[in-house]
Amino acid sequence: MSTASPVVGVLALQGDYQKHRQMLDRVGVSSCDVRTADDFSRADRLIIPGGESTVIADLLRRFSLQETFSAYIRSRPVWGTCAGMILLAARVNDETVNPYGVIDIDVDRNGYGRQFFSDIRPGHMQLDGVDHRLDLVFIRAPRVTRVGDGVAVLLTCDGDPVLLAQNNVLVSAFHPELTDSVLLHRYFALTFAAEVTA
Ligand code: GLN
């Protein structure tokens, strides 16, 4: 696998994986749906989309993908958005979800409240020395309640960390695939944790 033209996989069991594929198309990188063990081996990087963490976890189990998924997220660049973030966390305040524990954060699963309280908030992020304005879309989003020592907070919103990274793992509480900006898809596909794939 090469870092020059990565194939970015999107876990396509449930959730808004098609929106992520469309963003990756706009960035101009190759992408694929990931539903089988073979699909995992084709993907250089993986996005775990928003949706419903309990359902995605259950489908990984039903399709006997737990071990493949677990090995993948420990060794390749991965980005969990919303439900994906919940699955990658160390601890979740809801025993119906067993997170995979690859980033040292704790999350409150529906910490931003119910669907009714979904909203779009403004954010600013420095990338490559440039300040970018982002719309941050929160839909029944997880709230980060603890950040471990080795975790970098890349973006906060109203005082809460909402974009974080540790080693090969990137997580966002919000949904960048539902906005016009491809900034974070470009960052994840081409820049993030490049050394992991070297
Ligand atoms: N709160 C949802 C869950 O528990 C995640 C919502 C989302 O991905 N937009 O999975």
pLDDT digits (tens, 9 = 90+) for 7-35: 999 999 999 999 999 999 999 999 999 99
Counting the structural domains of the chain, the total is 1
Question: What CATH number corresponds to the domain at position 16?
Answer: 3.40.50.880
What tokens were used for 3? 């870092």
Mutate to test the pocket of ligand 1, among 139, 174, 179 (most ligand atoms within 8 A of CB): 139
Residue 190, CA distances (Å) to 24, 28, 60, 69, 134 in order: 11, 10, 27, 22, 19
Per-residue tokens: 82: 């919303």
Please check the confidence at residue 151 and state whether its pLDDT lies above 70.
yes
Please tell me whether residue 120 adopts helix, strand or coil conformation: strand
**Cα dihedral sign for 187, 50, 132, 28?**
positive
User: How far is residue 76's CA from residue 141's CA, in Å, rounded to a whole number?
Assistant: 25
Residue 2 lies in a domain: no
Whether residue 157 has its Cβ less than 6 Å from ligand 1: no
Per-residue pLDDT averaged across 79-90, rounded?
Answer: 98
Q: What pTM, to 2 d.p., does this model score?
A: 0.94
Distance separating alpha carbons of residues 115 and 33, to the nearest angstrom? 27
* Over residues 51-62, mean pLDDT: 97
> Is 20 a catalytic site residue?
no
Mutate-to-test residue for ligand 1 from 48, 53, 162, highest number of ligand atoms within 8 A of CB = 53
Catalytic residue among 20, 32, 52, 82: 82
Q: Is residue 175 part of a domain?
A: yes
Closest of 97, 52, 102 to residue 76, by C-alpha: 102
Q: Tell whether 193 is covered by a domain.
A: yes
Domain ranges, residue 94: 7-197
Dihedral sign (CA 179, 185, 187, 193): positive
Does residue 39 have a pLDDT over 80?
yes
Confidence at residue 196, expressed as pLDDT on a 0 to 100 scale: 67
Q: Is the CB of 140 under 6 A from ligand 1?
A: yes
The question of whether 177 is a catalytic residue gets the answer: yes
Q: Is residue 143 part of a domain?
A: yes
Could you tell me which residues are beta bridge partners of residue 75?
none
Q: Indicate whether 1 belongs to any domain.
A: no
User: Strand 89-92 relative to strand 103-108: parallel, antiparallel, unpaired?
Assistant: parallel
Structure tokens at 62: 């039903």
